[in-house]
Each structure stands twice: as C-alpha cells, then as structure tokens.
Amino acid sequence: MRKLPLRDLLASQGATFRERYGVEVPVSVSDLKKEYGLIRDAVGITDFSFMQKYRVSGDAGVDLLDRLFAGNVAKIRFYRVLHTFLADDQGRLVADAYIANNDEDFIVLCESIADDADLKKLFSFDGQPKTEEAGTAGIDDLTESHVVIGIDGYHAWKVAKDLFGADVLGLPYLSVESYPFEDGSVLLFRAGKTSEFGYLVMAPKEAGPKLMQALLQSAQQHGGGLCGSQIHNELRLEGRFFNIFAEGARVNDPLPLGLQWMIDFDKEAFLGSQAILARREKGYDQKIIGIKADAAVPELKIGDALFYEGQPVASIQATCFSHTLNAHVGLALFPVDMAYAGLRFELGQAGGPAVETISMPPIIPKSLSVKLDEQ
Amino acid sequence: MDSVMQSTIDKRTAVINPIKAELIKRLNLPYQPEDLHEDISLFGAGLGLDSLDALEVVLTVEHCFGIKIPDNNVSILRSINTLADYVLEQKDRRESEDAKTPAA
C-alpha cells in the first residue's frame, strides 16, 4: 500500500486514514460538519497526494495522451487545464483527470479507481509500448515523488494570494502556473470540485512539509484549517461535480453519468472510444439525476430503491447530508423517460418516505458572490 | 405513468428541448441534444462557457420563451436545469397573473 509523504504530519494533526485502491488516504481530521463549515465558510487544506501524477513530454507524449484520454489533449492551450477521463478498452471509467499544458510538458493528475500499477499499465499499454507514441513519449511517474495539496473554500483565494502573490487572482478556472516556493518552484492549478474557490498545489515531496505548514498557517489566519478527503465526497455531490470514487465507481459508464462534455466526439479514437460510441449510437436507457429527501428521513443509502406506483424504478448511487439545505441529497439512476427534476418517488418501498428529483446543483455557494478581479 | 407525472415531464421537456437545441446552434457546441445532461455546469467546469457565451445563454432563453433573465443572477445560469426552473417559474407566474386579469 502506498503511504503519502505527508502522512506523519497529518497524523500528528489528528487525521484518520483508510486504504482506497492501494493508497492510504487521509479520511478526516475532525468531524465532517466542522470540515464542511471550513470549506463552505472559510478555507480547507487537504492532502490530495493520493492522486497519480505524471509528466509527459515531447510531441509523442501529446499523441499518446490524446490516444488515451477522452478529451482533446492536442487542443489544450498553453497554461490551461483539460478536465477529462480515462476509460478502459470497454469504455468503463478508470480515472478522472486534469491534464495541464505546462508549455514544456504536460502534467497529468489522476483520481482513479485503479491502483498505481494498473493505471501505469494503461498508460504504457499494458507495459508493452505497442505504438510508436508509447515507445518514444517521455513519461515520468511523479506519483511518489510529488505531493498535491488542495486549497478549497470561500477564502481559498486569500491563502493562494498569501503564498504566491496577487497574480493568482487573475488565474482563470482550469489553468496552471508555476510559482517560486522556498528554493524551488511549485505548480498551482486553479481547479477544484467543491463549487467554492479551489486550487491544487503540486510540489516535490521534499518541499511538502514546509508547503503544508505554510498553507495551514495562512488558512488559520482566514478561519480555515485541515480537512480530510471524505468531506470532498459530500461537497462534490452537493456541488454536482463528478466523483469517480462515488457514482463513478458504481455506474462506471460515462454516458448515463452525463460525462459527454469530457469527450471530444470528433477525435479519431481514444481508449474505449469504440465501446462508448457504440453505446451512444444505440442509445442508453438510464441516466443519473439529483434527488432530495427532507431531514426527517433518517438516511439515504447507496443501493436503496426508489418506488413509483408500487414498483422499484431507480437506485441510489451517491448520497450526502447537505448542511446548507438541512436535507439529504443524492444521485440516483433512473430510466431516461423518468429522469427529470420535479418528480416524487417513494424511498425503499411502496408507501415509503417521499423523495423528489431536483435540479442540480441544489445550493448557491458563497464563492459565486465574490469577484476576484475586484479584490 | 400517471397523468400528474406525465404533465410535469411534458412541461419540463417543452422548456429543456428548445434550450438545448438553441444553445447547440448559437454556441456551435459539438454535441447532440441527448449528450447535454441537464445538470452540466454551463460555465467553468462542464461546458466551460465564458462571459461572452453568457450573453448567448441569456438570448437563448429570451428567444425561445420571451423571458428576460435579470442581470447579475448567476445562479439561474448554472445549468440547463436551473435555466428551466427559472423559465417554468416565470411561465407559472405569467399564467397566474393572466388568470387574475379580468377579461376585457
């Protein structure tokens, strides 16, 4: 099992850990409601070093990435980031990825439901470079040599500004920039999946402890603190960001999940494209949409059925409690002809508590009210 | 499917379908209507539209339904579903106002 470079530092702050796809991940540091409040109202610092990270260089590298990922890597502009996915040859999801065009090279950050070894095999076509691209692309695996730390929240921009200067306020969403830190440099991604402001900082692991301490010190000055990864599952759902570890792992097919926006359908091919295009051509009969149950319902459970006219018609794929709405929210897989907001179903059995389908995202984050160019 | 559910679905699709078709046309989006999940974020993550595209989204709603989206109401522009919610709300309001107006 891979242990993260900042593990001991996080453990000293009270973090608990669990294994996920061969990596020991920090789950939480305090109670989830507190961590929720840190990010929605202030700023949370989270160790995302569990991500698999690669540096890919050269024209052959671009070609390789383009043949693997669903989005169009060749069209990523300098210093911009593409959010896309990696599928297997059956078109089943393997990784949710940010790919940054960092001028000299491309940086790939993956959240995957494959362990490090299996993902690496996909990257090199099962270990055997079967194409010219795979044979000559320069691929450096940075997974163990680098840390990635997230800055998320209403005040996240203040922490990024404290550490890297006012220049960060001009970074558009899904962009990347290099900044000096200590004696070296770090890469700052403007990205995030909480619907508040978000950044990811990637640095060599040797700089990790100092970077984490500097981020935490700044965050504390702005009312923030350390978070685990579990709260991000809840924030992603509440903000309707795709989560490979929740609905992604369970449904596994990009089409019912509504991930068509991550695909360049005009591209010649990518890993799994034949299978995905065949399913698209045939038409899919299920689709995932948002649901809500009021706080009086004890719990929405993964796998629970939603009933209509005495029959189970949908199944719950992801859930969380929204502290903003004081209600349970979730995602459920419905037949396409029922996958609309504004309908009522019964939870667990005919006559069970009412659950309604809703428009997502169901909350309005505080960050929407902030104009960074006026700060 | 009972008539209440069918009617809710019909009302919603009557708003969603024209929005999708018009957005694809105006923004030259490389998708078919069924590729656009109604909850996809229109700006930032998701379709990644920018501030210039925002005007086209506003014009889409105005063109399709004759409904103006107020300035600075970014929460309405977040997804196709949030646009549809706003349109349905405005349509309901119009209908109830029309019902209250005595016939000439």
Q: What are phi and psi of B53, to 5 degrees?
A: -65, -25
Per DSSP bridges, beta strands A327-335 and A311-322 are antiparallel
Predicted pLDDT at B102: 72
Identify the domain containing residue B86 by its residue range: 3-100
- Residue entry with tokens 């950050």: A109
Host H or E run for residue A138: strand A138-141
Please choose, from the candidates A246, A270, A203, A212, the residue with its C-alpha nearest in 3D space to the C-alpha of residue A332: A246
Host H or E run for residue A96: strand A93-101
- CB-based burial of residue B68 (10 Å sphere; 0-12 exposed, 13-18 middle, 19+ buried)? exposed
Residue in B35, B45, B81 nearest the CB of A260: B35
- In chain A, residues with a C-beta closer than 8 Å to the C-beta of B38 are 289, 340-341, 359
- CB-based burial of residue A136 (10 Å sphere; 0-12 exposed, 13-18 middle, 19+ buried)? middle
Residue in B31, B39, B85 nearest the CB of A289: B39
pLDDT < 50 positions in chain A: 125-130
Residues of B with CB under 8 A from a CB of A: 1-2, 5, 8-9, 12-13, 30-31, 34-41, 44-48, 74-75, 78-79, 81-82, 84-85
The total domain count for chain B is: 1
Task: Find the Cα–Cα–Cα–Cα dihedral A125, A126, A129, A130, rounded to 10°.
Answer: -70
- Give the gap in angstroms from C-alpha B31 to the nearest C-alpha of chain A: 8
Tokens, residue A134 = 């795979």
- B47 → chain A, closest CA residue: A261
CATH classification at residue B58: 1.10.1200.10
Q: What are phi and psi of A12, to 5 degrees?
A: -65, -20
Peptide bond into A256 cis (omega under 30): no
Determine, for residues A343 and B5 on separate chains, whether the beta-carbon distance falls below 8 Å: yes
- A191 → chain B, closest CA residue: B45
Helices then strands, counting H and E runs in chain B, come out as 3, 0
Condensed to tens digits (0 to 9), the pLDDT of residues B9-54 reads 999 999 999 999 999 999 999 999 999 999 999 988 899 898 889 9
Q: Are A240 and B39 in contact (CB under 8 A)?
A: yes
Q: CA–CA separation, A208 vs A72, rounded Å? A: 32
Residue in B5, B39, B44 nearest the CB of A359: B39
Q: Could you report the predicted ipTM of this complex, rounded to two decimals?
A: 0.92
Predicted pLDDT at A291: 98
Q: Strand, helix or coil at A75?
A: helix
Q: CA–CA separation, A84 vs A86, rounded Å? A: 7
Please choose, from the candidates A292, A190, A179, A194, the residue with its C-alpha nearest in 3D space to the C-alpha of residue A243: A194
Determine, for residues B38 and A343 on separate chains, whether the beta-carbon distance falls below 8 Å: no
Determine, for residues A341 and B35 on separate chains, whether the beta-carbon distance falls below 8 Å: no
Q: Are A222 and A42 in contact (CB under 8 A)?
A: yes
Model's pTM, two decimal places? 0.94
Predicted pLDDT at A113: 97
- Give the gap in angstroms from C-alpha A265 to the nearest C-alpha of chain B: 8
Mutate to test the interface with A, among B81, B82, B85, B86 (most CBs of A within 10 A): B81
Task: Give percent of chain A above pLDDT 90.
Answer: 86
Predicted pLDDT at A135: 53
Residue in A241, A309, A340 nearest the CB of B9: A340
Q: Are A89 and A271 in contact (CB under 8 A)?
A: yes
Please choose, from the candidates B16, B37, B15, B33, the residue with its C-alpha nearest in 3D space to the C-alpha of residue B24: B33
Q: CA–CA separation, A369 vs B6, rounded Å? A: 37
Domains of chain A and any CATH numbers = 7-51+144-235 (3.30.1360.120), 52-141 (3.30.70.1400), 285-359 (2.40.30.110)
How far lies A220's CA from each of A43, A45, A168, A213, A225, in Å? 8, 10, 19, 10, 6
Residue in B47, B78, B81 nearest the CB of A261: B47
Confidence of residue B104 (pLDDT cuts 50, 70, 90): low
Mutate to test the interface with B, among A195, A282, A333, A359 (most CBs of B within 10 A): A359
A 144-173 residues inside an 8 A Cβ radius of B: 173
- Give the gap in angstroms from C-alpha A59 to the nearest C-alpha of chain B: 26
Angle between helices A32-41 and A230-239 (to 10 degrees): 50
Residue in A264, A343, A359 nearest the CB of B8: A343
Predicted pLDDT at A370: 80
- Give the gap in angstroms from C-alpha A162 to the nearest C-alpha of chain B: 24
